[in-house]
Chain A
Amino acid sequence: MKNQNLYNYILTIADNSLILAQRLGELCGHGPNLETDIALTNISLDLLGQTRSYYQYAAKISGEDKTEDDIAFLRIEREYKNCLLVEQPNTHFGYVIGRQFLFDVYHFMLMEKLQNSKDETLTAIAKKSIKEVSYHKRFSSDWIKRLGDGTEESNVKMQEAIDDLWRYTDELFLMTEAEKIMVKEGIGIDVSSFKEKYYEEVAEVLKDATLNVPENKYFTKGGKEGVHTEHMGYILADLQYMQRTYPNMTW
């Protein structure tokens, strides 16, 4: 593939949307209220839409006879480049909101920058996505505050989720080989450049929510390089079930 680096770069962004959409999809019909169900499904649909735009583009530049679905469903686990954060399970609603919030703040900053990429397709996708992501961020921040500053029980639960998920945040700012090369070409974004801003913004919301900013400095990484947590295999087992069981068919 002659655009291997761009291709890989697109996947590091797109796979996050796919896997998070998949996690949110598990919740549909099982949320705390009809209204929250509908809201989370909307977020999932936004992410799925973004995923498709990225994959369609990746398929096009691959120079091979690929479709968005080949990319979504037919890779081995090591080839998925999503960060570990988005694959974490829906342990309870605090985790759903915590995961969403920690990702949304990052996602928004990334989209902000990606709007100015030299790559026109990525720019266009970012311009469309940023409105969606901006809404996601508002939604998840509001809920962080509600749960953090709600009842004693909800405060404990929300803190538990933030504490647990915290160790996956550092990875968001690690640069893979493909990212570094794409930054040089003016296409990719140097994610490490907004790391500080990210932690500031997150801390501010947590403070508002009467939650503690975890002091844990031990982080876990690997997702962006394709080394995932144990959850990922099960996510893919669901995701790929049909395509693997019935190969080469149209659905």
Chain B
Amino acid sequence: MSEKNIKNLEEIFEARIARDEKIEPKDWMPEKYRQTHIRQISQHAHSEIIGMLPEGNWITRAPSLRRKAALLAKVQDEAGHGLYLYSACETLGISRDELYEQLHSGKAKYSSIFNYPTITWADMGAIGWLVDGAAIINQVPLCNTSFGPYARAMVRVCKEESFHQRQGFEIMLTLCRGSEEQKAMAQDALNRWWWPSLMMLGPTDAESVHTEQSMKWKLKRKSNDELRQQFIDQTVPQADLLGITVPDPDLKWNEETGHYDFGEIDWDEFWQVVKGHGPCNKERMNARVNAWNNGEWVRDAAMAYAEKNANKKVAKAS
């Protein structure tokens, strides 16, 4: 194809997106669109399955049967989200195994928040409330993103996410209405998860590289800073309701802007974790790699069995 032709196709392509048309897997698309989507969707998928680990850590220790069932169902949902998103990614011509390979080799990234440890039961509350809360803010706009399979996966994901945040908040609420020890546990969890949750919405606009292109392709609707502000504005009143304190001495309602002002985020910490030196990066990656490697004989066996049986069926048919 000549360069002029491609340029033409690209213009038509961008115009379709601008008209809010969806792009489907077999449609022509610029290579950059494909690569960007593979990167973003797989990163998102990886985050879902790595995200199972910190919460999975408390399934056996959940303090009541009701909480245990809810937590199990929640972590299971995250596996489902990973699965929907890997499937969406696969429509772009890359296999799940290749995507795993990228994750396991450290080439692919995932959300840094999951590199923090879950050390008390209250962390289950804080994660549901704050981490799923921030995720929802990130994800809702993606239900209208330009790539069809991604948009459809996100519709399903968002529908399921709402229970996650509610169960998290309910855990916090119960703790805050409980004993002094429980309330302290809730406060401690907020202290540890607040800043990483703010970081979850991405680097500041000044440092964020992909934003403009992503806006055009509807991978992003609002900037990181706008999303962060939205998250803070909606979450602070919830903390007030719980009766616990957001660990930011600079946090203050601003009458003029109609938003909360907040303190400086420690971006050094953010980049340290992104680069692999967070408290649990190694543990998370080891858990995934081990699960995959230990499961190899199982996957191979199922495949071998399927092939044998397919042969048997063929033999019968002839």
Contacts and interface: CB of A to CB of B under 8 A. Distances in A.
Direct A/B contact, Cβ within 8 angstroms: yes
A56 B114 CA distance: 36
Interface stretch (B197-205, B241-249, B296-304): B296-304
A49 interface: yes
Contacts of A25: 59-60, 68, 72
Nearest to B62: A242
Mostly, the B contact residues are helix
Contacts of B60: 22, 25-26, 235, 238-239
Contacts of B174: 250-251
B130 interface: no
A235 B59 CA distance: 12
A154 interface: yes
Interface string B72-96: 1101100110110010000000000
Interface residues of A, number: 48
A31 B296 CA distance: 10
A92 interface: yes
B305 A41 contact: no
Given A34-B83, A246-B181, A41 B75 contact: yes
A151 B72 contact: no
A193 interface: no
Interface in A153-181: 153-154, 157
Contact of B53 (A22, A29, A32, A241): A29
A45 B76 contact: yes
B61 interface: yes
Given A25-B68, A68-B65, A149 B308 contact: yes
Interface string A99-122: 000000000000000000000000
Contacts of A198: none
A241 B291 CA distance: 26
A33 B294 CA distance: 10
Interface residues of B, number: 50
B76 A38 contact: yes
Interface in A27-47: 28-38, 41-42, 44-45
B182 interface: yes
B30 interface: no
A146 B305 contact: yes
Given A38-B79, A147-B301, A150-B302, A251 B56 contact: no
B64 interface: yes
Interface in B212-239: none
A144 to B, nearest CB: 11
Contact of A154 (B67, B292, B298): B298
B283 to A, nearest CB: 12
Contacts of A28: 52, 56, 59, 72, 75-76, 79
A55 B66 CA distance: 12
19 contacts: A28-B52, A29-B52, A29-B53, A30-B287, A32-B292, A32-B299, A34-B86, A41-B73, A48-B65, A51-B65, A52-B65, A72-B65, A73-B64, A93-B298, A150-B304, A154-B300, A238-B61, A249-B63, A251-B175
Interface of B: 49, 52-53, 56, 59-69, 72-73, 75-76, 79-80, 82-83, 86, 121, 171, 174-175, 178-179, 181-182, 287, 290-292, 294-306, 308
8 closest A-B pairs by CB: A32-B295, A150-B301, A154-B301, A242-B63, A29-B52, A251-B63, A32-B298, A29-B56
